[in-house]
């Protein structure tokens, strides 16, 4: 998979961040598109706002297949080492996805989530561009973190480069035409538009179907001409 990358700088008060734009890539199972945005030190609130303003939301990962897809996306976009915000938050003693998807799949790192100091309310994904950065063998795994994220200098005696907030992942929902039943089970459930049954599709009829009435018409005309001659 080839991902086009370009760099641009923008100001995010109170910090200056460099954003890496990777071309949006579609996940075949849902038709949704995903994009990796690198913004070092960005908070969860800012990442959520930026994703919304870009026409999407922070990514929700609801299956092993989607998890693998997101990891491939990070790899092929050249994402740097660090943690990337997910659309995951604590809710009712557990977790919930911002977009309302069912929380039926998780891939937390060993020992996580632990709600350290009672302030880790949001979800991130650990990423290591270089094998040397993956000190705890947790590349691609999830972590709970405070809304501010973590700087790399949180523990000078044991630097954890994959913990430092590096950016976020945008997911944009696929746009389906009305009544196509996409994303659901035909009853309005799931992520579809509740269109139910698909609209009927015109199916070409065999040429013989059209030829039979035409032949009958010619036969009738011939019989009328024969009667006139009698």
For 48-90, how does the pLDDT look when each residue is reduced to its tens digit (9 = 90+)?
999 999 999 999 999 999 999 999 999 999 999 999 999 999 9
Alpha helices in the chain (DSSP H): 44-53, 64-76, 207-229
Q: Count other Cβ atoms within 10 Å, centred on residue 162.
A: 25
Instruction: Report the b/e string of 24-36 with b at 16+ CB within 10 A.
Output: bbebeebebbbbb
| C-alpha span between 60 and 102 (Å, rounded) | 9
Q: 5-172 falls under which CATH superfamily?
A: Mannose-Binding Protein A, subunit A (3.10.100.10)
**Residue 56 near residue 27 (C-beta atoms within 8 A):** no
**Residue 215 near residue 207 (C-beta atoms within 8 A):** no
- According to DSSP, residue 143 is labeled E
Q: Which residues contact 65 (CB under 8 A, 6 or more apart)?
A: 29
Strands 94-97, 82-91: parallel, antiparallel or unpaired by DSSP? antiparallel
* Domain ranges within the chain, ordered by starting residue: 5-172
The residue ranking higher by pLDDT, 200 or 59, is 59
For 103-128, how does the pLDDT look when each residue is reduced to its tens digit (9 = 90+)?
999 999 999 999 999 999 999 999 99
Q: What is the pTM of this model?
A: 0.70
């Amino acid at each position: 998979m080839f991902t086009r990358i370009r760099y641009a700088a923008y100001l995010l008060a109170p910090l200056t961040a460099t954003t890496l734009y990777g071309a949006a890539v579609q996940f075949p199972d849902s038709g949704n598109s995903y994009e990796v945005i690198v913004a070092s030190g960005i908070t969860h609130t800012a990442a959520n706002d930026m994703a919304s303003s870009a026409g999407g939301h922070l990514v929700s990962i609801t299956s092993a297949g989607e998890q693998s897809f997101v990891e491939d996306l990070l790899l092929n976009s050249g994402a740097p080492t660090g943690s990337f915000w997910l659309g995951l938050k604590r809710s009712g003693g557990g977790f919930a996805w911002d977009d309302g998807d069912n929380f039926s799949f998780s891939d937390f790192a060993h020992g996580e989530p632990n709600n350290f100091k009672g302030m880790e309310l949001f979800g991130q994904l650990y990423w290591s561009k270089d094998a040397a950065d993956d000190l705890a063998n947790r590349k691609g795994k999830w972590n709970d973190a405070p809304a501010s994220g973590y700087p790399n200098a949180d523990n000078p005696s044991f630097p954890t480069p994959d913990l430092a907030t590096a950016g976020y992942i945008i997911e944009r929902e696929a746009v389906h035409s009305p009544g196509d039943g996409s994303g659901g089970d035909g009853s309005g459930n799931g992520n579809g538009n509740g269109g139910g049954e698909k609209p009927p599709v015109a199916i070409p009829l065999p040429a013989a179907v059209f030829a039979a009435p035409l032949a009958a018409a010619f036969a009738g005309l011939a019989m009328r001409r024969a009667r006139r001659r009698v």
